[in-house]
A and B are shown apart, each in its own frame.
Chain A
């Protein structure tokens, strides 16, 4: 599917979905359906948030990376330097541990990781706790993402620095996993 620049209203709608996902980690939030039907939902967070002031990286899809760069004006950089990293498959441990985590003085510089998350029968169930989560909150991720989750837990082990993640499925459902959320296999 071809991408297109988002209108002001569409950007706002996508942003609100992402905000809701971070406010209530583990909650399945549907991004605007009309956008998910016409372009890859995985790219929507980038199209809504990045611009010439930010950097990003899509290490496993050079075509998508070039398209997002052209539409947004955002600069493509190495994984370790990127404000936003998009992975079309669950990223390996080395990548997750390589992205920027910010510092205790500037934790806001931690990377935003956007990861594809498809439902499968062999899904892992994670128990979530922390700010915004509901009691007994759970998150289902594909088994292939178990390494990613383990690496993510290492990357957020020394707050306030850390990384914040959005898990996006092909039907446009986004789930937030900010750094303050504890995710344990249930």
Chain B
């Protein structure tokens, strides 16, 4: 890649130049080769604010080509403002097609959720990550954090979980529940809910995590062991509300969210909910 090529690419509609893509690709490959390790990368300025999916967007732009079909969701919703804008950025700059159906998508960029169905070996899931460091709550010093990961010294994380259990009777962490990947690195699964954690374990698809603000990329390859941190006598539990069903599709088999100040529940994955309703109509 020479400077002349960079000048050529500056004339195109693409949001990332070739240098940026190559650097991000090298970081992605390192992340896949070392599951769970946070690979530093030179996060670029994007047309979205950092913290609004700039890391996920950079990964998607580095991965996608014009034969791909892209799905972008935010809080499980394809039509959220952030999702619509990110999808438009990706499709206009890469020429990729778009879809709302997970099974049709080859690359799925998401914040807060893994789609309820449709991900297979051909799928690449890109998660936007606001806080990639799972140990941030127990240690602030970056050098000490690096040492703890290097030595797999997660004792303070275990103490933190134990204290949480003693104080509250349960481990209260909901989104971003810490998991051990391939028996080596603890990762933050932020921002997905506990409901989605078991689906990362031995999943058929590749998951890429991008944190643009913190300049980190990490990955969970397909068919990789992912264990939520918990104690032998404190089983890991996912979110559940007795008797709750979706007010639209009447299902209780998907992750449900409640409307504010009400007992009305709805599927978080809006496209899954729509297809469930169409199938039962």
Contacts and interface: CB of A to CB of B under 8 A. Distances in A.
Interface of A: 5, 8-9, 11-13, 15-16, 18-19, 22-24, 48-54, 71-73, 103-105, 107-108, 110, 112, 130-134, 159-160, 164, 178-180
A22 B182 CA distance: 15
B1 A72 contact: yes
Nearest to B64: A12
A159 B150 contact: no
B147 A105 contact: yes
Interface residues of B, number: 44
A11 B1 CA distance: 10
A160 B33 CA distance: 10
Nearest to A25: B221
Given A15-B25, A23-B206, A160-B184, A104 B221 contact: no
A179 B37 CA distance: 13
B32 A19 contact: yes
Contacts of A134: 223
B1 A73 contact: yes
Interface stretch (B16-24, B110-118, B256-264): B16-24
A159 B121 CA distance: 27
B22 A11 contact: yes
A-B pairs, 4 with minimum CB distance: A178-B33, A51-B1, A104-B150, A132-B221
Interface of B: 1-3, 5, 9, 12, 14, 18-19, 21-23, 25-30, 32-35, 37, 39-40, 62-66, 121, 146-147, 150-151, 182, 184-185, 206, 221-225
A29 B66 CA distance: 20
A12 B66 CA distance: 10
16 contacts: A8-B9, A8-B21, A12-B21, A16-B63, A19-B28, A19-B206, A23-B32, A23-B206, A24-B121, A24-B222, A24-B223, A105-B146, A108-B34, A132-B224, A164-B29, A179-B33
B35 A112 contact: no
Given A8-B21, A23-B221, A48-B22, 16 more contacts: A5-B5, A15-B62, A16-B63, A19-B25, A23-B32, A24-B121, A51-B1, A52-B19, A71-B2, A104-B150, A107-B37, A112-B29, A130-B182, A131-B35, A131-B225, A160-B150
B25 A49 contact: yes
A183 to B, nearest CB: 14
Contact of B14 (A8, A107, A179): A8
A105 B22 contact: no
